[in-house]
Amino acid sequence: MSFRFVSLIFIFLFAFPSYSQQSEFVMAENYYNAEKFDKAKPLLLSYLKKHPSDKLTREYLGDIASYSKNWDSALSYYKDLVEEQSSSANYHFKYGGALGMKALSISRIRALTYIDDIKEHFHKAAKLDPKHIEVRWALIELYLQLPGIIGGSTSKAQDYALELQKISPVDGYLARGYVAEYQNNLKEAEGLYKNAIRVGGSPTTYAKLIALYEKDNEPQKALDAATTSFKIHKRNQINYQIGKIAAEFNLEPILGLASLKQYIANYSYKDGVPVGWAQYRMAQIYKNQGDKTKALHYINLCLADLPDFSDALDEKKQIIAM
């Protein structure tokens, strides 16, 4: 047996376990990135047994636990990561976020004990990374939702919105609009959301303006904004939004029905809103038009998929009473 052949055997024997473990992690990471968390988790746990100190594996497992709303498990992963690498803005942000979500799942009295820690880790993340967009959004939400007696502050929320303006003009306009809307300054919010559309023009910017118009009982403006957004972005979710506005405000039924039919025809799970909801909106439009037969047809289709949908059950009663 030649020395070269023996060397190749040793290389194979010793390199293969490492290659296999790397492949296991790569496969797990691919599943994670594809949001196939049920497949990623067992591979990550297996890899972690062999590499218990690997930070990225533990971060992924914390993220998966967060996705599953298993906040205690998520906190255990993130807490260790924060303690091991206290200079990581990302770890502080995720730990603070998991603390916040845990606080929402328990009694209000117990939740109060979490607030200082949540603030500490969010502030730390913001200080460590002056361009961290997500943590500034989190701080805006925190300061707006907390009562003033325990640290809530619209002025501090506004400060972080202005910080966002410097980092990302689109996020800044959206954040400032959100603060203005929270304060019921709807005209100011409208102008800021329009600025976000002018600068960025993403579906999210249009969605904020549409929701504002609905809230302010301006359905025609909401419908016009949704129609413009669809012409630009061609996203199927907007078809549902148009149908929803048409149904709720008894406005432009032909456009509403056409949009909902298109939504159903092109539906995929990524669109978010189930087909049953689109059928519910169609039933509403036909009811608004006085067409009992078609209204019943679509509400029955809705309830066949969503039998416990309380709004649809109430709608059916109203249709039968026509």
Superfamily of domain 235-322: Tetratricopeptide repeat domain (1.25.40.10)
Residues carrying CATH 1.25.40.10, the chain: 16-129, 131-231, 235-322
Domain 131-231 has CATH 1.25.40.10: yes
The per-residue pLDDT for range 262-291, each reduced to its tens digit, is 999 999 988 999 999 999 999 999 999 999
Least confident of 57-71, 80-94, 134-148, 157-171: 134-148
pLDDT at 151: 75
For 135-154, what is the mean pLDDT? 87
pTM above 0.75? yes
Rg (C-alpha) for the chain, rounded Å, is 26
Q: Show the CA angle centred on residue 256, arms to residues 251 and 262, nearest 5°.
A: 170
148, pLDDT greater than 50: yes
**16 pLDDT band (50/70/90 cuts)?**
very low
What's the Cα-to-Cα distance from 274 to each of 210, 228, 257, 312, rounded to whole Å? 20, 23, 16, 13
Q: Show the CA angle centred on residue 135, arms to residues 73 and 131, nearest 5°.
A: 135
The per-residue pLDDT for range 193-226, each reduced to its tens digit, is 999 999 999 999 999 999 999 999 999 999 999 9
For 287-308, what is the mean pLDDT? 96
Superfamily of domain 16-129: Tetratricopeptide repeat domain (1.25.40.10)
* Percent of the chain predicted with pLDDT > 90: 86
* Residues in Cβ contact with 11 at an 8 Å cutoff, skipping those fewer than 6 apart: none
Rounded CA-CA distance 248/246 in Å is 6
